[in-house]
Amino acid sequence: MNKRENISKGAEELEKIVNNKSERNKFDKILMLEKKYPDDIGILQIISKNYLAIGKNTKALNYLLKAKSLDPENYSIHYNLGSLHQTFKKNDEAEEFFKKSIELNKKFIHGYNALADLSLKKKNYKETIKYLKASVKIDFSINNINAISILALAIVTNYFQTKNLIELKDALIYFKKAHELDPSSDKILKQLISFYHLVGMKNEAVYFSKKRTGVFEI
């Protein structure tokens, strides 16, 4: 059996353990599975995740580093290393791993969103917007609505620094899209109403306020 077949077999057995709802000792079984398939990066990443969940951070890191040594071009390993370093509050290291994840997979939405989150925390709105635009370009659907909504807010925040009116037109696209995708979200609707007030679109603000509460906001 070659390495590829070995990993495939390991993935099959791992899936059976994870999906077995009646199994009580899943982690122990997964640890045993690692001895059988020591080079299976999927098993190594699941073990890392379990160790992180119980606070054994060093073991969690070591398993991911082993996975990376086996498959250094695997974007998901770099993303998981980034997430792990975030839990260590090592955001600079996390950022490098996230950047590597999107370098290896240019359509990896979670990598772009993670980088946007780090940029937002640093109040670097230009970078936040860049990463979120890349994200929503890949997925402009309900599955990525959080990125769409945050992008709209980030553009408005950046506008207060640049005073570039074109940005407000840009933001409107994303506010309207977020509401279109999830019209039942009161949070998104309030954001849209606030935006209409901000840009002086009074009729639209009043219309959506009535739609939301049944009472006109003047």
- Residue 5 pLDDT exceeds 70: no
pTM of the model: 0.89
Residue 30 binned pLDDT confidence (cut-offs 50, 70, 90): very high
Report the percent of the chain where pLDDT is more than 90.
84
| pLDDT one-digit tens code per residue, 168-208 | 999 999 999 999 999 999 999 999 999 999 999 999 999 99
Helices 165-181, 145-162: axis angle to 10 degrees equals 160
Residue pair 102/115 in contact by the 8 Å Cβ criterion: yes
Give the domain ranges of the chain: 1-88
Q: Which CATH architecture has domain 1-88?
A: Alpha Horseshoe (1.25)
Q: In the structure, what pLDDT confidence band is assigned to residue 1 with cuts at 50, 70 and 90?
A: very low
Distance (Å, rounded) from C-alpha 208 to C-alpha 211?
5
- For residue 47, count other CB atoms closer than 10 A to its CB: 24
